[in-house]
Amino acid sequence: MADRLDQVKSLISSHPDFPKPGILFRDIFPVFRNPKVFRHLIDLLCEHVKTAVPKAEVIIGLESRGFLFGPMMAEQLGIAFAPVRKAGKLPGKCRSVSYSLEYGTDKFEIQDESVKPGQSVVIVDDLLATGGTMKAAVELLEGLGAKVDECLVVIELKDLNGKAKVTKPFHSLIHY
């Protein structure tokens, strides 16, 4: 039987020219159709965090696909979860930052109460492409005084060199 990571990898599908010509889109959703492999993915992410950032206090999930993993990881690790969302969706006092994407621009927000100054956070997303999204999230968290101890993604698209934009420890489970 293939190891757990190979099982996850085998379920990630590739779609040429989606959502625009020239983009090879890696789709993580087939993993969620197989609960056993989805469980392996969450376990692998949590095992990594326990080793790399044993004192992590908050998992930060990036809209939207960071929300697929972040809360489950936080629950399994017994720590807090907080979302970073597209602008205009979070109530209360928020910080915001604009960023550019592989195919467009966007604006992210976080609620000021999501983390306390000095807290150790791990930022989680499904995928790193150009790195603009992760860079914006790091800026938001540092603006709140958090310690970004790791940026963690399931998939890294190496050709786009997004890692160069991430100034914090970075880890990907799968790369193309």
What angle, 0 to 180 degrees and rounded to 10, lies between the N-to-C axes of helices 70-77 and 35-52? Answer: 60
Query: Which listed residue (10, 13, 14, 64) binds ligand PRP by CB under 6 A?
Result: 64
Should residue 106 be labelled a site residue for ligand HPA when binding is judged by CB under 6 A? no
Should residue 86 be labelled a site residue for ligand HPA when binding is judged by CB under 6 A? no
Coil, helix or strand at residue 53:
coil
Q: What is the DSSP string of 64-122?
A: TGGGGTHHHHHHHHT-EEEEEEETT---SSEEEEEEEETTEEEEEEEEGGGS-TT-EEE
The option from ligand HPA, ligand PRP, none interacting with 26 (CB < 5 to 8 A, set by class) reads ligand HPA
Query: Which listed residue (46, 68, 127, 137) binds ligand HPA by CB under 6 A?
Result: 127
Catalytic one among 4, 26, 95, 102?
102
- 63/150 with CB nearer ligand PRP: 63
β partners of residue 171? 152
CA dihedral 138, 134, 8, 26 (to 10 degrees): 170
Query: Which listed residue (126, 149, 150, 156) binds ligand PRP by CB under 6 A?
Result: 126
39 is catalytic: no
Helices and strands per DSSP (H, E), number in the chain:
5, 9
Residue 145 is classified by DSSP as T
Should residue 41 be labelled a site residue for ligand HPA when binding is judged by CB under 6 A? no
Should residue 129 be labelled a site residue for ligand HPA when binding is judged by CB under 6 A? yes
109 is catalytic: no
Indicate the length of the chain as a whole number. Answer: 176
Query: Which listed residue (61, 70, 83, 131) binds ligand PRP by CB under 6 A?
Result: 131
Provide the binding-site residues for ligand PRP, judged by CB under 6 A. 62-65, 101-102, 125-134, 162
Which residues are tagged catalytic?
65, 102
